[in-house]
């Protein structure tokens, strides 16, 4: 289980904390939705849970142990803008194989084509590059995904294909996932339960 207890985070110590006494649990095999107004702190919470920011108070644990400081991160963050998550000077093959070598089954599930391998990131569409970053993030040992608005820039069909593939992999590996989105319809389709982040606090949604 990925668990956060009493997290507090201020980007700027002269302002109120963006995250204030937030506790959240995501179990293996569970998909939890997170929504909230723009600027409410959803991405900040996602970055905390993925170990990319350190809370000023509170704890984040995976099965009762703090997240590792080094090596493969068992909680991986997927961002809205895949082009910012990759090295623009690397070809797709190098990006895809950065942490591990995705197997054919996964590549097929995500419809990743071999002829993309020699291209650079700007030579793929946003949806194609997003699928590459998803495959890269699914290294063995990754147990939880934080999906931060990963499909909001995609058309409806590409969005549906991405979620279909991702949910299949997540279910087959019994991974847990936090899905951050403004799209209530998407959250009601994919998430087992949802929260709203408001004024630094989490409210459970019915
Ligand atoms: N690195 C930073 N330095 C200072 N302030 C920041 C930083 N990152 C985010 N903030 C501020 O923290 C607040 C929360 O930002 P965050 O990106 O977490 O919100 P969000 O809920 O994900 O918003 P959106 O839905 O628009 O993506 C905002 O007021 C933002 O301006």
- The mean pLDDT of 55-81, rounded to a whole number, is 93
Among 14, 35, 43, name the best residue to mutate to test ligand 1's pocket (greatest count of ligand atoms within 8 A of Cβ). Answer: 43
Dist. CA 153–CA 110, nearest whole Å: 17
Average pLDDT of the residues of the chain: 94
Atom of ligand 1 nearest to the CA of 47: 18
Among 20, 42, 80, name the best residue to mutate to test ligand 1's pocket (greatest count of ligand atoms within 8 A of Cβ). Answer: 42
- The mean pLDDT of 67-74, rounded to a whole number, is 89
- The per-residue pLDDT for 152 is 87
Dist. CA 40–CA 33, nearest whole Å: 15
What is the pTM for the complete model shown?
A: 0.93
Distance from Cα 196 to the centre of ligand 1, integer Å: 15
CB 161 within 8 A of CB 151: no
| Tens digit of each residue's pLDDT (9 = 90 or more) over 148-179 | 999 988 888 888 988 998 999 999 999 999 99
Which range of residues forms the domain containing residue 61? 2-205
Helix/strand/coil (H/E/C) assignment for every residue in the chain: CEEEEEEEECCCCCCCCCEEEEEEEECCCCEEEEEECCCCCHHHHHHHHCCCCCCCEEEEEECCEECCCCCCCCEEEECCCHHHCCCCCCCHHHHHCCCCCCCHHHHHHCCCCHHHCCCCHHHCCHHHHHHHHHHHHCCCCCCEEEEECCCCCCCHHHHHHHHHHHHHHHHHCCCEEEEECCCHHHHHHHCCEEEEEECCEEEEEC
**What percentage of the chain carries pLDDT values higher than 70?**
100
Residue 174, φ and ψ in degrees, nearest 5: 50, 45
pLDDT level of residue 195 (50, 70, 90 thresholds): very high
ipTM score over 0.90, yes or no: yes
- The mean pLDDT of 27-42, rounded to a whole number, is 96
- The ligand 1 site (C-beta within 6 Å) comprises 11-12, 18, 36, 38-44
- CA 35 to each of CA 47, 62, 71, 175: distance values in angstroms, whole numbers, following the listed order: 15, 23, 30, 20
Instruction: Determine the distance from the C-alpha atom of residue 91 to the mean position of all C-alpha atoms in its chain, rounded to a whole number.
Output: 23
Here the CATH number for the domain that contains residue 197 is 3.40.50.300
The residue written with tokens 């990925």 in the block is: 2
Domain count along the chain: 1
**What percentage of the chain carries pLDDT values higher than 90?**
81
Atom of ligand 1 nearest to the CA of 45: 18
| Tens digit of each residue's pLDDT (9 = 90 or more) over 51-63 | 999 999 999 999 9
- CA 111 to each of CA 82, 88, 114, 159, 198: distance values in angstroms, whole numbers, following the listed order: 16, 21, 10, 13, 37
């Amino acid at each position: 289980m990925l668990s956060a207890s009493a997290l507090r985070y201020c980007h700027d110590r002269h302002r109120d904390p963006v995250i204030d006494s937030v506790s959240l649990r995501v179990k293996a095999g569970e998909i939890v939705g997170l929504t909230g107004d723009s600027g409410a702190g959803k991405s900040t919470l996602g970055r905390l849970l993925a170990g990319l920011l350190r809370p000023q108070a509170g704890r984040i644990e995976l099965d009762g142990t703090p997240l590792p400081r080094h090596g493969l991160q068992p909680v991986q963050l997927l961002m809205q803008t895949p082009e910012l998550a990759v090295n623009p000077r690397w070809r797709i093959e190098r990006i895809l194989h950065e942490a591990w070598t995705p197997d054919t089954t996964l590549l097929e599930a995500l419809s990743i084509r071999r002829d993309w391998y020699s291209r650079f990131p700007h030579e793929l569409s946003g949806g194609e590059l997003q699928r590459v970053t998803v495959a890269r993030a699914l290294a063995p040992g990754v147990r939880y995904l934080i999906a931060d608005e990963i499909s909001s820039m995609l058309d409806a069909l590409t969005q549906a294909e991405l979620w279909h593939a991702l949910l299949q992999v997540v279910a087959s590996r019994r991974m847990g996932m936090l899905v951050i989105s403004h799209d209530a319809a998407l959250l009601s389709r994919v998430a087992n339960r949802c929260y709203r982040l408001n004024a630094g606090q989490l409210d459970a949604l019915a």
